[in-house]
């Protein structure tokens, strides 16, 4: 428990900054909703002038974009991008922090197993992500209800927001799996940004392909399409399964490699 509390304290400041940033981003876009609703036809005409490929990349659905859930769905990919970067940072850092800070020897001579160390760090990361998403949902729900023109489905709003946690879990696991293969990682940010932005851009480009339903498996950002959630009030089972497999396999790989690898401080 002491290790969990220590990790929570070390992650606290970063989590607060990222949570505030995501809330501010959501507030910025939601604040324009009254204007969008009052000029719905002009707004649709503007977005409709974009090429279909651009509309697909941005997740624009002209049928719903002037509703508060439709507008929120359109901008949610940017929020998910921020959440993914935060989760990837956590995933990479929790197993490399001691090596980067030259305290690995101090940690590993403690009377605890490596599995206990990983368990404590992972539990702390999961608690941080859960707390972030709860605060984010509460804040955005208040904002959305404050700017709404008409009632909207709270269930669908919650389901869209839950996908943020799903995406974060995948990138947390990917980050952990990536980190165990680096023995002297000096900074987590280049690796995190490279992986997250790379997969985000791949997902955006694949959204315009002819075989996009199959190619969507390449990018976790495309596993939970808000437009599908709005239309069916549910998630797409194949992608939900694929996301679960990524989390389980990546975390299992992290444990398997970390428990056996040589760990030393960065020289």
Average pLDDT of the residues in 116-139: 93
pLDDT for the residue 132: 95
Q: What global pTM score does this model have?
A: 0.88
Average pLDDT of the residues in 165-185: 88
pLDDT for the residue 58: 72
- Higher-confidence residue: 91 or 209? 91
Ranges of H-type helices in the chain: 2-30, 33-38, 40-48, 52-58, 68-94, 97-100, 104-108, 114-147, 154-179, 189-206, 212-215, 226-232, 237-258
- Higher-confidence residue: 144 or 203? 144
Residue 264 pLDDT > 60: no
Average pLDDT of the residues in 3-31: 91
pLDDT for the residue 206: 74
Q: At what angle do helices 154-179 and 114-147 cross, to 10 degrees?
A: 150
Under 8 Å between Cβ of 167 and 50:
no
């Amino acid at each position: 428990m002491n290790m969990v509390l220590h990790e929570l304290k070390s992650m606290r400041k970063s989590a607060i900054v990222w949570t505030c940033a995501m809330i501010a981003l959501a507030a910025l876009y939601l604040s324009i909703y009254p204007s969008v609703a009052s000029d719905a036809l002009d707004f649709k005409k503007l977005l409709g002038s974009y090429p279909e490929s651009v509309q697909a990349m941005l997740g624009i659905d002209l049928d719903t974009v002037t509703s508060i859930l439709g507008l929120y769905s359109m901008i949610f990919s940017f929020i998910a991008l921020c959440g993914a970067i935060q989760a990837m940072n956590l995933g990479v850092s929790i197993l490399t922090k001691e090596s980067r800070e030259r305290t690995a020897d101090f940690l590993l001579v403690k009377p605890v197993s490596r599995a206990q160390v990983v368990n404590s760090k992972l539990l702390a990361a999961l608690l941080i992500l859960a707390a972030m998403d709860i605060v984010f949902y509460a804040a955005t729900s208040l904002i959305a209800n404050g700017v709404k023109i008409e009632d909207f489905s709270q269930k669908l709003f919650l389901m869209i927001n839950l996908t943020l946690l799903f995406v974060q879990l995948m990138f947390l696991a990917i980050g952990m799996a990536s980190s165990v293969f680096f023995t002297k990682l000096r900074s987590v940010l280049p690796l995190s940004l490279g992986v997250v932005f790379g997969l985000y851009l791949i997902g955006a480009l694949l959204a315009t392909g002819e075989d996009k339903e199959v190619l969507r498996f390449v990018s976790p950002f495309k596993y939970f399409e808000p437009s599908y959630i709005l239309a069916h009030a549910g998630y797409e089972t194949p992608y939900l399964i694929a996301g679960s497999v990524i989390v389980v396999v990546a975390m299992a790989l992290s444990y398997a490699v970390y428990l056996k690898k040589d760990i030393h401080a960065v020289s």
